[in-house]
Amino acid sequence: MQFVKKDILDMESLSSEEISVILDTAETLKEISTRPIKKVPTLRGKTVIHFFYEPSTRTKTSFDIAAKRLSADTVSLSGTASSLLKGETLVDTAKNLQAMNPDAIVIRHPAAGAPHMLARLVKASIINAGDGMHAHPTQALLDMMTVRERKGRLDGLKIAIIGDIAHSRVARSNLIGFTKMGAKVTLAGPPTMIPMGIEALGADVRYDISSAIGDADVVMVLRIQKERIQGFAFPSEREYAQYYGLTREKLAGAKKDILIMHPGPINRGVEIAPEVAEGPYSVILEQVANGVAVRMALLYLLLGGPR
């Protein structure tokens, strides 16, 4: 099938066919990163702007490496260095960026919907690298790629996502993405961290993480989004770790081939015990490796074809 999207904004706007094309392409391109000369000329002459209005290490580096391995020219803007600090609005920034005629803009922004706003204003392809609590589609795609590689399929799998669901764009995007591909997603965490109405998106909600882990093929552990929590979501990290942290004991009844995932960064000893993060079931570093492949695939699909 032909891939004809302009932007990658969220998982809701991707069909299951499109998701499959992205994952297939990523698997093909993954090999490039293992070569001694890790570069192909595919996107030579294309310009990609990385516009990160929120701190990021992993995602920004991953996008940058992905673009460079495809020979695109990359420019990085950060929130603190850009005109935003001088009071420029997103609309004006968008118009100015458009005037420089980039081919793609990768944006991370603390406000949900900011990438959608940018997509309406500029001709360049927009890739959402995380907008507030809304969506993080490239993370969901790399998670799906990792699971598919390991399990050979997505359809029929049971995925448990554990922790701070309410503030997590990763949870939302994975819930929608995995559900679209035929997997069954269970969300588990303290009730204060389960957003209202999420069952309507196809999630099975539990408050007891052991019951969620019990029959799961994959357990995805989320970080407590301290920077987004305001108010009284939980009493203490100590109690959180005790009831909702993933420990070896809680994995006692799990499937023998369970996969443990985490989008990073990890708060060791809070949502995940160090021996679990580094244990035999963990595929956390494979996720990071696949992140480059998925982002190469997206840049290739958006910019590589005849336009």
DSSP track, 71-128: T-EEEEEETTTSGGGGT--HHHHHHHHHHT--SEEEEEESSTTHHHHHHHH-SSEEEE
For 144, 241, 264, the CA distances from 163, given in Å and listed in that order, are 19, 10, 13
CB of 44 to another protein, least distance (A): 34
CB of 113 to another protein, least distance (A): 3
Beta carbons within 8 Å of 192's beta carbon, 6+ residues apart: 166, 232, 233, 234
Q: Which of 72, 135, 162, 233 binds another protein (CB under 8 A)?
A: 135
> Residue 288 gets which letter from DSSP?
H
- Binding to another protein by residue 169, rule CB under 8 A? yes
Pick 1 or 200: Cβ nearer another protein: 200
CB of 233 to another protein, least distance (A): 11
For another protein, which is the closer residue by CB, 50 or 109? 109
Q: Does 172 bind another protein (CB under 8 A)?
A: yes
| Site string (58-97) toward another protein, x via CB under 8 A | -------------------------------xxx------
Peptide bond between residue 263 and the one before it cis (omega within 30 degrees of 0): no
Which H/E stretch holds residue 185?
Answer: strand 184-188
Question: 184 to 243, contacts with another protein by CB under 8 A?
Answer: 195-198, 200-201, 230-231
Please provide the DSSP assignment of 148-160 as one string. HHHHS--TT-EEE
CB of 300 to another protein, least distance (A): 27
Comparing CB distances to another protein, the nearer of 86 and 256 is 86
Distance CA 179, CA 161 (A): 12
* Helix or strand holding residue 187 (H, E): strand 184-188
- Candidate segments 74-82, 129-137, 206-214, 264-272, binder of another protein by CB under 8 A: 129-137
**Which residues, including other chains, have CB under 8 Å from residue 20's CB and lie 6 or more apart?**
181
Q: How far is the CB of 166 from another protein (least distance, A)?
A: 8
Binding site for another protein (CB under 8 A): 12, 89-91, 109-114, 116-117, 131-135, 169, 172, 195-198, 200-201, 230-231
